Amino acid sequence: MNTIPAVLITGASSGIGFTYAERFAQRGHDLVLVARDGARMEALATRLRQQHGIAIEVLPADLTQPGELAAVEKRLREDQRIGILVNNAGMNVGGSFIDQATDDIGQLVALNTTALVRLASAIAPRLAAAGEGTIINIASVVGLAPEFGMSVYGATKAFVLFLSQGLHLELAPKGVYVQAVLPAATRTEIWQRSGTDVNTLSGVMEVGELVDAALVGFDRREAVTIPPLHDVALWEASEATRRAMLPEFAQQHAAARYQVVAGSEQ
Ligand code: NAP
């Protein structure tokens, strides 16, 4: 791609995705905006077209509906102009695991994991064939923290982080950049949508600062960008510890603590 690639952003009607749309528009990228609320995206598109003279298409879709998701996948597979995917659409469900309805959990998993990986799968082969392009996946620090009491949401975000790290390793040699972005609490509608008043929380980042920081990581081609983490040495140490385990896994025998001593078991 010799021209500036177009960017397809999911969850572009509010919050982080909306702000990515503003920032990529400022950078001169054409946009394809995806979310359910077409009217909100049309209003954003009208303003950004006027301000930046770029081409914007609004593609309303409920990404939990297989047919609507398939239309976005088709677009990513076929539209050679799209060189960047921002996999941002996501949701949370309030309450503890035993209070959450099974169907709501199904929706959460469908949006945060199934849709995200299907969209990545739709675009990745084309980007790899072109030898360039980017997939940005919005994960969360909650994916590192079972202690936060958001088990299903956090599990979906752990999936996004793992997937991104794996795809970064697989696709970087083919010229494709994959970035995981891990926000912590950020002032967007996701809190209200899942029943929490964001004003009751402390340490909440404004969405503009979050996206600007994520784009610093993008420009540096970081694999994992954690805007709220001030001491990056903590993340690096955690990764080093994880990697140190890897050569230890291939063992013919169980660890000594699991060895059954003859006569000691009933
Ligand atoms: P948000 O303002 O609620 O935005 C969520 C976006 O996803 C909206 O554009 C929404 O648009 C779209 N969306 C929701 N359900 C959808 C569906 N079924 N199909 C298609 N689009 C759908 O929240 P946000 O904070 O910007 O969230 C963006 C991402 O950041 C999410 O992945 C979230 O998990 C992650 N994140 C947020 C925080 C935080 O504290 N805000 C922290 C860590 C990670 P429609 O309603 O128009 O469909």
Q: What is the pLDDT of residues 87-122, one digit of tens each?
A: 999 999 999 999 999 999 999 999 999 999 999 999
Residue 37 CB less than 6 A away from ligand 1 = yes
Report the separation in Å between the CA atom of 89 and the middle of ligand 1, taken as the mean of its atom positions: 4
- Do the beta carbons of residue 195 and residue 94 sit within 8 Å? yes
Computed over every residue of the chain, the mean pLDDT equals 97
Specify if 35 maps to a domain.
Answer: yes
pLDDT of residue 90: 98
CATH code: domain of residue 111: 3.40.50.720
Atom of ligand 1 nearest to the CA of 91: 34
Confidence of residue 266 (pLDDT cuts 50, 70, 90): low
Residue 185 CB less than 6 A away from ligand 1 = yes
Give, to the nearest 10 degrees, the angle between helix 151-171 and helix 102-109: 20
Specify if 152 maps to a domain.
Answer: yes
Count of Cβ atoms closer than 10 Å to residue 59 Cβ: 17
Confidence of residue 265 (pLDDT cuts 50, 70, 90): low
In the chain, the number of structural domains is 1
pLDDT of residue 262: 78
* pLDDT tens-digit series, residues 150-207: 999 999 999 999 999 999 999 999 999 999 999 999 999 999 999 999 999 999 999 9
- Give the separation between CA 47 and CA 97, rounded to whole angstroms: 41
Residue 211 corresponds to which amino acid?
V
Confidence of residue 263 (pLDDT cuts 50, 70, 90): confident
Using DSSP bridges, classify how beta strands 177-181 and 56-60 pair: parallel, antiparallel or unpaired.
Answer: unpaired
Specify if 263 maps to a domain.
Answer: no
| Neighbour-count burial of 204, counting CB atoms closer than 10 A to its CB (0-12 exposed, 13-18 middle, 19+ buried) | middle
Exposure on the CB side of residue 106, measured as CA atoms within 13 A: 4
Percent of the residues in the chain that have a pLDDT greater than 70, as a whole number:
98
Query: Whose C-alpha lies nearest to ligand 1, atom 23?
Result: 190
- Do the beta carbons of residue 165 and residue 224 sit within 8 Å? yes
Atom of ligand 1 nearest to the CA of 63: 19
Specify if 94 maps to a domain.
Answer: yes
- Do the beta carbons of residue 126 and residue 176 sit within 8 Å? no
- Do the beta carbons of residue 187 and residue 206 sit within 8 Å? yes
Domain containing residue 238 = 6-258
Residue 170 CB less than 6 A away from ligand 1 = no
pTM: 0.97
Specify if 170 maps to a domain.
Answer: yes
Compute CA distances 245 → 206, 239, 242, 250, 255, whole Å: 37, 10, 6, 10, 13
Specify if 97 maps to a domain.
Answer: yes
Report the separation in Å between the CA atom of 264 and the middle of ligand 1, taken as the mean of its atom positions: 54
Query: Whose C-alpha lies nearest to ligand 1, atom 8?
Result: 11
pLDDT of residue 1: 47
For residue 30, is pLDDT > 80?
yes
Specify if 264 maps to a domain.
Answer: no
Give me the mean pLDDT over the 56-60 stretch: 98
For residue 2, is pLDDT > 80?
no
Specify if 11 maps to a domain.
Answer: yes
pLDDT of residue 261: 84
